[in-house]
Amino acid sequence: MATQARELPPKQELPRDDGDDYEDDEDEEEEEGEEGWDDWESDGDDAAGGSGGLLCLFCSARFDSDGPLFAHCGSVHGFDFHKLVRELGLDFYGCIKLINFVRSKVRLLSPLASMTALSFLARLVAENKCWSCAEISQLEGKVPWAEDSYLKPFMEDDSLLHSLSIFDDEEDEDCGMPVVTGECSVGNGRSGELQGNGLNTIIDDCSDISARFEKAVTTESNGGDNNGSLSEEQTDRQLKITRASVTAKEIKKVDDNYFGSYSSFGIHREMLGDKVRTDAYRDALLDNPSLMNGATVLDVGCGTGILSLGFSSAKAGASRVVAVDGSAKMSSVATHVAKNNGLLYDENANTEQKGGPQVISVVHTKAEELNHKIVVPPNGFDVLVSEWMGYCLLYESMLSSVIYARDHFLKPGGAILPDTATILGAGFGRGGTSLPFWENVYGFDMSCIGKEVTGSSARFPVVDVLDSKDVVTDTAVLHYFDLATMKESEMDFTASLELRLPESGAAAVAGVTWCHGIVLWFDTGFTDRFCKDKPVVLSTSPFSTPTHWSQTIFTFEEPIAITNEKSVVGSSASVGSAECPAGTIRSRISIVRASEHRSIDISIETTGISSDGRKRSWPAQIFNL
């Protein structure tokens, strides 16, 4: 799904297109039902929350934004969220964990017990908020919400988690306040000195917060009085250790830019014109009638709706198709296209009129917020289809939305298309760089420019079509994803490539070959696990017909000599040089989601290994895509 400039420096913003020619008819795209597919009714933005808004942590009150909500929590329930965030130095993810922790504990309370017990929790946490920078680092993992399990929303479709703006007003603040060595605020107006094992005592107390809290809950439920005299006095020394690396406001901005970029018809023209891409999806959907006939289908990131309109519905025989897109403009476009082609579902039609080709509903939303827009039967889809792939497979991080949709909306055992993805790589030679071009520009030697451009390429990944003749090593698999079972955390991984020259065949070469870097691409599979009639493979390999994804090229700081021949025993030359070429190039590659939402960071650690076992390692290279 990725379409971008061919050289991608860090933190490049996607273009925006705020055209709204089609937005007048957005109301037509929201259709839903209570139990079955034939009875959907519009539910607007309040589908997931009754009267809508953000739900209080402790009661049924709802608010338009998180500011009034947290003010209410402080004044009514005695829970000062902002104070805890400041003084415990919680980052964005720490806030998410704390919210889910509190919601999980509130469920244990009766309505009559909640105020005093939660006030106790607030005070209890506040008792343990007073460490210096060094001491905070030792505390990591000790608070009762430190478990990663609290990153998972306790309350399904918790809008508060998507609306946190608590760090937005802190852009000009210092990262911390000075702390006098040996002293700390203990949360009740006193200063204490930590010596010996004093810190361990505090940590142990903090690690037992959960048990103490649940004990207080039990006391409250039994009618006991737990109105303790714990002081809530604010001290002068407030320690702020860190700010969130990713705030809800930043995520929203990136999402707006991301979805806005797909409002450009030029991008969709390029994707629709990618015959390899479009034919693969067409074949998978149209040539597998045993999968598609009568199926309910969810299309995540529908764009113009080609997968829903042309392949999943009228031709493939699906009984119901819900097409979801985060771009308001493209959702409206897809709605108009479906209507113009007689495929748009009409919720007002009577039962006798339903069941024809009018099976498509288009919903403007992110997959994670689908239940905010419509009500669907839980795990009610037979097939989940999405063209989610980006450059280097994972750029744009849309895979997380597909995994969310799979876990929440797909039937157990339902089909996800595609269902596998593999990242592959190989080494490329001099022809994969810009050096040959600059050496002869209309008869002039401009190789000085070529060297500078190549140096820049060693810092930024380049997205381009690499000629297959410039691939100099065998192909190797970097990483494999089973999309039917993988977890979102598996999007971040570290794996190794071992690259060698071909030993036989037309590609085999004698002597020394120079490897200038690594090229990565991906294949996605519509395997016979679900596509039993006709499995399909969509490949972006340099050995296949080029696609709009091209390949992603990572240039070494310096080229590495590689050979199939034996190294000279006793040579003092460096491995990877012309005098002592490597027999194997081993690259340890990490691909992780970057702190900037929807970006990825790639690190490459390269080692040359000679035929006699000697090794040479080069400094790690860090790329942002």
Q: Mention every residue, 6+ apart, whose C-beta is less than 8 A from residue 325.
A: 259, 262, 301, 302, 303, 331, 334, 362, 363, 364
Q: Say how far apart CA 445 and CA 449 lie, in whole Å.
A: 9
User: Which stretch of DSSP H or E encloses residue 75?
Assistant: helix 66-77
Residue 90 has pLDDT above 70, yes or no: yes
Residue 488 has pLDDT above 60, yes or no: yes
Higher pLDDT, 314 or 376: 376
Residue 458 has pLDDT above 60, yes or no: yes
Q: Across residues 372-377, what is the average pLDDT?
A: 83
Q: Say how far apart CA 238 and CA 218 lie, in whole Å.
A: 32
In the annotation, is 387 catalytic? yes
- SS3 of 520, please? strand
The per-residue pLDDT for range 469-487, each reduced to its tens digit, is 999 999 999 999 999 999 9
Q: Across residues 22-46, what is the average pLDDT?
A: 44
The per-residue pLDDT for range 382-403, each reduced to its tens digit, is 999 999 999 999 987 689 999 9
The per-residue pLDDT for range 395-445, each reduced to its tens digit, is 876 899 999 999 999 999 999 999 999 999 999 999 988 888 888 899 999
What are the extents of the domains in the chain?
54-131+142-150, 265-387, 420-624
What sign results for the dihedral spanned by CA atoms 49, 53, 54, 59?
A: negative
Q: Across residues 160-189, what is the average pLDDT?
A: 46
Q: Say how far apart CA 561 and CA 314 lie, in whole Å.
A: 56
Q: Say how far apart CA 112 and CA 104 lie, in whole Å.
A: 17
Residue 79 has pLDDT above 50, yes or no: yes
pLDDT, the chain, mean: 74
Q: Say how far apart CA 154 and CA 100 lie, in whole Å.
A: 5
The count of other CB atoms within 10 Å of the CB of residue 152 is 11
CATH number (3.40.50.300, 3.30.300.30, 1.10.8.60, 3.40.50.150) of 265-387 reads: 3.40.50.150
Q: What is the predicted pLDDT for the residue at 349?
A: 61
- 441 forms beta bridges with 444
Class of domain 420-624: mainly beta
Residue 190 has pLDDT above 50, yes or no: no
Q: Is 178 exposed, middle or buried (0-12, 13-18, 19+ CB in 10 A)?
A: exposed
The per-residue pLDDT for range 311-337, each reduced to its tens digit, is 776 678 899 999 999 888 888 888 888
Determine which one of 396, 488, 490, 565 is catalytic: 396
Choose among 499, 341, 363, 525: nearest CA to 429: 499
Q: What is the predicted pLDDT for the residue at 59?
A: 85
Determine which one of 170, 387, 439, 558 is catalytic: 387
| Residue 587 tokens, joined | 């690259």
Q: Mention every residue, 6+ apart, whose C-beta is less than 8 A from residue 507.
A: none
Enter the pTM of the model. 0.61
In the annotation, is 503 catalytic? no
Residue with tokens 């490539």: 497
